[in-house]
Amino acid sequence: MKLFWRDHTLLITVYILQMLILISILFLDPGTQASSVFYAIFLSFLLLTGYLIYRFIVLAPYYRKLNDDTSHHHDFKIDGSHPMIVAHNQLMTRHYNQHQAQLHQLEIRKNQQVQFMTQWVHQMKTPVSVMNLITQNEQENEEFPALRTELKRLEKGLDLALHTARFEQFEQDFRVKSVHVQTIIQQVVQENKRLFILKELYPKLTIDQNLYVSTDPKWLLFMLDQLVVNAIKYTRDHGKQLSIEANVVEGNPTIQIIDQGVGIQSADLPMIHRPFYTGENGRKYGESTGMGLHLVHELCEKLRIQFLIESEYGKGTTASLIFVQDRS
């Protein structure tokens, strides 16, 4: 209603000024009767009122739509045959169709990028696998341990790139099932055995053998791998201990990776989930992409897992995955 009056303020103002001028002219004429003047004003006012009522009835859907903050972007059409409403619907239809076409093109390009990245990673993994075989089958020499370590780092980087690309199509690439936690943790430890040996780290496993969680095993494996690799990477002193605990805590299955590494500065903690954020440790040690923890955080949001990071700088970090149970 307010928008209607604002839209017609100028018309009403001009009408009033016109009536004032007309009345002034008529009263200056001595032969003009006052009754005739007021009758003419009444008829004019009646016509204006009828016009405004007609405009309000015809354009009411238009004004309601403009005032509706809850309308969805695709719900733009207005019922009515008034030329202004018809023109509005035609204009919005053109804009909507153009917008949808642009979104479709963006979706095609995004899928092409994901496909390219996936194919590229798989192509890069082939020579890495070949080099791993060479270092294992040929006669051992003093350079092979360092080469195997760098190959493992390259594999981890390729895995991160692959999972980052696949995350864009997460809804098409996850399957929830019952996962035996001990099995998947042992798999993570086995895959990172070489890194543990290199850092002289001793994994201490405290796992409930009967613990199962409902989630996607592939993505859980990836998240645990990222957290374990991070814990190994930022444990600078050799001979430390890295603990992996999996138990029911306060009714919720919980997996914790506890390291004795450099820790995270308190100023960095609120921002470690941001993409490409490396923080003080990334600047100091230069080994961070800033995507690992971000991807873990985003995956936990998708899989409805609570992800917590607690850290004391200089003493270590605890990363927790809490599978909150629905008690409804």
Residues 295-323 pLDDT 10s: 899 999 999 999 999 999 888 999 999 99
The fold adopted by the segment(s) 177-323 is: Heat Shock Protein 90 (3.30.565)
For residue range 111-138, list pLDDT tens digits in order: 777 777 777 777 777 777 777 777 776 5
Q: How far is CA 173 from CA 108, 200, 299, in A?
A: 18, 36, 12
Q: What percent of the chain has pLDDT over 90?
A: 25
For residue range 8-53, list pLDDT tens digits in order: 777 888 888 877 877 777 777 666 677 777 787 788 888 888 888 8
DSSP 122-172: HHHHHHHHHHHHHHHHSPP-TTHHHHHHHHHHHHHHHHHHHHHHHHTTGGG
pLDDT at 16: 83
Helices (H), 8-82: 9-28, 34-67
pLDDT band at 328 (very low <50, low <70, confident <90, very high): low
Distance CA 171, CA 169 (A): 6
Domain boundaries, the chain: 1-68, 113-168, 177-323
Inter-residue long-range contacts of 284-289, CB under 8 Å, 24+ positions, other chains counted: 285/233, 285/234, 287/233, 289/157, 289/160
Q: Are 242 and 263 in contact (CB under 8 A)?
A: no
Q: For residues 217 and 149, which has the higher predicted lDDT (pLDDT)?
A: 217
pLDDT at 197: 85
User: In this structure, what are the phi and psi dihedrals at residue 216, rounded to the nearest 5 degrees?
Assistant: -85, 115
Q: Are 62 and 80 in contact (CB under 8 A)?
A: yes
